[in-house]
Structure 1
Amino acid sequence: NTATRNERDEYVAITNPTANPVNIEGWSITDTEGIMIFIRKGLQDTNQCNDWLILPIGASYHTPEKFFSSGDGDAIAVATAFVSPDSSFSVLQAELNNASSSLYINIYQFESPHLMDLVLDAINRGVRVRLLLEGSPPRGISDAGLYIAARIKEGGGEVRLVHEPFLNHAKYALIDDKTTVVISENWKNTGVPVNTTFGNRGRGIVLRDEGLADYFTKVFLNDFYRAEDSRYEYKYEYEFTITREIPGGKYTPVFEPLTIHSNLTVIPVLAPDTAMSNETILGAINSAEETIFVKLFSTGKFWGVEPNPFIAALIEAARRGCEVKVLLDSRQYNLDDWNDNDEAIAWMNSVAREENLSLYAELADLDSLGLAKIHNKGLIVDGKVVIISSLNWNANSIRNREVGVIVENDAIAAFYTGVFFHDWNISVKGEGEEEWHGGDGSKERRSTWIRIALVVFTLFISFLIFSVVKRYQRL
């Protein structure tokens, strides 16, 4: 290993950490390749490992910033909130069709031929298209993904692939230097389905703010120019035709997009930069006063040997008196491991029972919902703050390139709260009523109270019968 520190103590570069793992007290660097760099978090200097972030060489550190957007009834829409499968395709279709000068896309997986068509149409209109893709996903880029990348490049777009120690797992698009689209979904048939009766439950938002778009453009270009130019051409070693079949399912669309013209604030969330900052996700949880509603694709009880800090923060919020509800995906691959969704649920509900907390955690009933999976990665806090992101609550995710936004607006929060309780009620009760109750732990607590009530009722009836009998005996 070779370590290099600059004069102002702002970064430390380490070469080949995989060949010779770095062992520094409180630091752990394993399963990485090439050159990594430790970036100090601003002016923070506590002589602890938490003062530093691990970034790939050449990556910039982007500080948390707050953006304020205002609108009135006659102004252009400030934001559009939407969910998948209900309207994700129609919203993206409208935004891509409106692109007139530039379209920058950073997406983990791009396999939808229908979205490809819209991107190619934009190129044909003279729009400058740049596409950034993960170059080494765990199962490799699919044939459909390779085909789409090649078609966009052949059509005149710029395509680059990220090959870094951690994944490029972001899912966002920037349009005409003024519009930012952040979504939890990959651009696939399940994530952005044409047929709204099929697909994942995902969450997305369109934000129209030039300052916000400029912030994300800087992030995009830093990642884009660090990535490899896509010099490959798709090899037709065998005949490949991308399928244009539009799958259908049994989901009933419920939620139309919500467009607002009112004031809102937005804070970008980036991993690895700010995902663990007290100004982003943990800050939102730690500042909660009343309610937290969480919907996630993937999490676990532990990060290495330590408890999951996000879930630990939820438990602490419940201890402060907040009502916390957590709905997790129930696909088998999120249940097979010793440290995944079901273990996280068991932990939360166990603590809730032991401490009598208003903390309820459930697995989604995908069959009853008619959904392929829960693919959200976000939460709603106190009925006013919403987090939409690509970040799963796993230890590796905070080192990936992940992108999200924290949006503060009552109407947007109410929209996503309605979606949350639709899915929660069907999963817990089998029906999408307005009334709601708790999760797995709450079922047990409800049944306990029901049994107590039945015992009290039985004793009361027995006392009445006894009294009546004694009275007639005196007659």
Structure 2
Amino acid sequence: MYGRTRRPWVLLLLLALLIASCGPGHTPQPAARILPSVPPNAPLSVGDDLITPLPGGPAAFAAVESVLQSAARSIDLEMYEFQRPDLAGLMLSAHARGVAVTGILDPSEGSSQSTWALLAQAGIRLVAFPVEPLTIDHVKLLIVDGSRAVLGGINWGRHSVENRDYDVLVTGPAVRNLTRIFEQDLELAGNPTPVASTVADPLIQVLVTRPGDAIRGAAVSAIDSAQRTIDIEMFVLSDRIVIDALLAAARRGVQVRVLLEPTQPQNLAALAELRSAGARAQLFKPARGELLHAKLAIIDAVAVLFGSCNWSRSGFTRNHELDLLIRDATVARVFLDRLQVDWSGSAN
């Protein structure tokens, strides 16, 4: 009485549902990408470089503190916002033990002046980047002993640790190319400095604006070359050229997913346009008042473009910005894991 009972009508019903799902008017949903997790703070080999992904403020500042404490010869810092007395204290301690410390600052960023003044009073060499009206030095770059660098989107502000940002700790040839940017900026600021030539590093490209406009070109090229997916977290998305490239990608069938910061009003227009083209786009929902301060794009789960540059006209053409383009699926996977957390937490 309670043994197995054959129910052929169940099989027929399932078959009918399967046929119906393939019929006209049914749009199959894209399969969810299942990516194995990678520890976010594990060093990863990328060509001749080692990259430690630092998704989020706590990971980034832990790396910053570690490299500052271990500095033996030199500390080179270029930072837009600097309001952390604890990090200033680590730089002062390094200076006191004989480490050569140099800082490049944006003289228009008023909230950081008291911190820079503490360093200047101790005799640390500080240089003002030559900003012009409507421009800023938005770079976030720390180089220690010419061998390790921390860079990305995070400021050293009072509340920066709470925000959503993406940074990396780098060793290898990329550090030489980042040092070249620092040397170039000293030269631009009127401090005669030998500027080294670029070192070949095929998997990690260092990109700057003012001088140059390489970041927008890299963003558009990456979007135009996308075959399957584009995943973006962005503080400001308003540049017409990049938005048009994203719209074209969505219309040719690329899965475009964009998460934007809600406090920036210009993001609303981009949000509406992207949705109209079939992209998945939504606003970030903070848990405790934090900002989506990220400037991140991941193309086909392989190429990662991130750094200080917002995707705005001012970011691409007026400000001094610094980004990296890393071509590595494992680095992309770490940042995608973080992006997925932010995306899921912001779902309507």
**Partner residue of 2:261?**
329
Alignment of 1:3-22 (within 5 A): none
Q: Whole-Å Cα distance in 1 between the matches of residues 224 and 168 of structure 2? A: 24
Matched, 1:122 2:42: no
**Partner residue of 1:314?**
246
- Equivalent position to 1:180, from 149, 167, 172: 149
SS at match of 1:201: coil
**Partner residue of 2:24?**
none
Matched, 1:350 2:276: yes
**Partner residue of 1:221?**
183
Given that residues 136 and 163 in structure 1 are in contact (C-alpha distance below 8 angstroms), is that contact kept between their aligned partners in structure 2? no
Matched, 1:202 2:165: yes
Q: Whole-Å Cα distance in 2 between the matches of residues 91 and 276 of structure 1? A: 25
- Consecutive unaligned residues of structure 1, counting only runs of 5 or more, are 1-66, 72-77, 194-198, 230-262, 353-358, 430-475
Matched, 1:285 2:223: yes
Given that residues 182 and 204 in structure 1 are in contact (C-alpha distance below 8 angstroms), is that contact kept between their aligned partners in structure 2? yes
**Partner residue of 1:422?**
341
**Partner residue of 2:47?**
69
- Equivalent position to 2:121, from 139, 145, 154: 154
Given that residues 182 and 388 in structure 1 are in contact (C-alpha distance below 8 angstroms), is that contact kept between their aligned partners in structure 2? no
SS at match of 2:205: strand
Q: Whole-Å Cα distance in 2 between the matches of residues 268 and 222 of structure 1? A: 13
What displacement does 1:274 show?
Answer: 3.8
Alignment of 1:260-271 (within 5 A): 265-271=203-209
**Partner residue of 1:361?**
281
SS at match of 2:258: strand
Q: Whole-Å Cα distance in 2 between the matches of residues 380 and 264 of structure 1? A: 18
SS at match of 1:87: helix
State the Cα deviation string for residues 213-269 of structure 1 (Å, max 9, x = none).
22222221221243278xxxxxxxxxxxxxxxxxxxxxxxxxxxxxxxxx9820111
Matched, 1:385 2:296: no
Q: Whole-Å Cα distance in 2 between the matches of residues 169 and 311 of structure 1? A: 22
Given that residues 130 and 188 in structure 2 are in contact (C-alpha distance below 8 angstroms), is that contact kept between their aligned partners in structure 1? no
Given that residues 136 and 162 in structure 1 are in contact (C-alpha distance below 8 angstroms), is that contact kept between their aligned partners in structure 2? no
What displacement does 1:111 show?
Answer: 0.8
Given that residues 138 and 320 in structure 2 are in contact (C-alpha distance below 8 angstroms), is that contact kept between their aligned partners in structure 1? yes
Equivalent residue letter for 1:90: A
- Equivalent position to 2:236, from 293, 298, 305: 298
**Partner residue of 1:111?**
83
Give the length in aligned residue pairs.
291
Equivalent residue letter for 2:314: N
State the Cα deviation string for residues 313-333 of structure 1 (Å, max 9, x = none).
1112222221110000112xx
Equivalent residue letter for 1:203: Y
Higher relative contact order (CA 8 A, sep 6+): 2
Change (3 A) 1:276 1:93: closer
Given that residues 309 and 322 in structure 2 are in contact (C-alpha distance below 8 angstroms), is that contact kept between their aligned partners in structure 1? yes
State the Cα deviation string for residues 53-103 of structure 1 (Å, max 9, x = none).
xxxxxxxxxxxxxx96337xxxxxx11111223422211111211221111
What displacement does 1:189 show?
Answer: 2.3
What displacement does 1:371 show?
Answer: 4.8
SS at match of 2:230: strand
Q: Whole-Å Cα distance in 2 between the matches of residues 147 and 136 of structure 1? A: 13
Given that residues 329 and 363 in structure 1 are in contact (C-alpha distance below 8 angstroms), is that contact kept between their aligned partners in structure 2? yes
Q: Whole-Å Cα distance in 2 between the matches of residues 114 and 90 of structure 1? A: 12
Alignment of 1:41-60 (within 5 A): none
- Consecutive unaligned residues of structure 2, counting only runs of 5 or more, are 1-44, 192-200
Q: What is the TM-score of this pair, normalised by structure 1?
A: 0.58
Given that residues 315 and 321 in structure 2 are in contact (C-alpha distance below 8 angstroms), is that contact kept between their aligned partners in structure 1? yes
Structure with the largest fraction of helix: 2
What displacement does 1:163 show?
Answer: 3.4
Q: Whole-Å Cα distance in 2 between the matches of residues 81 and 212 of structure 1? A: 14
What displacement does 1:370 show?
Answer: 3.1
What displacement does 1:277 show?
Answer: 5.8
Q: Whole-Å Cα distance in 2 between the matches of residues 125 and 69 of structure 1? A: 35
Alignment of 1:245-260 (within 5 A): none
SS at match of 1:373: coil
Q: Whole-Å Cα distance in 1 between the matches of residues 146 and 336 of structure 2? A: 30
Matched, 1:408 2:340: no
SS at match of 2:256: strand
SS at match of 1:419: helix
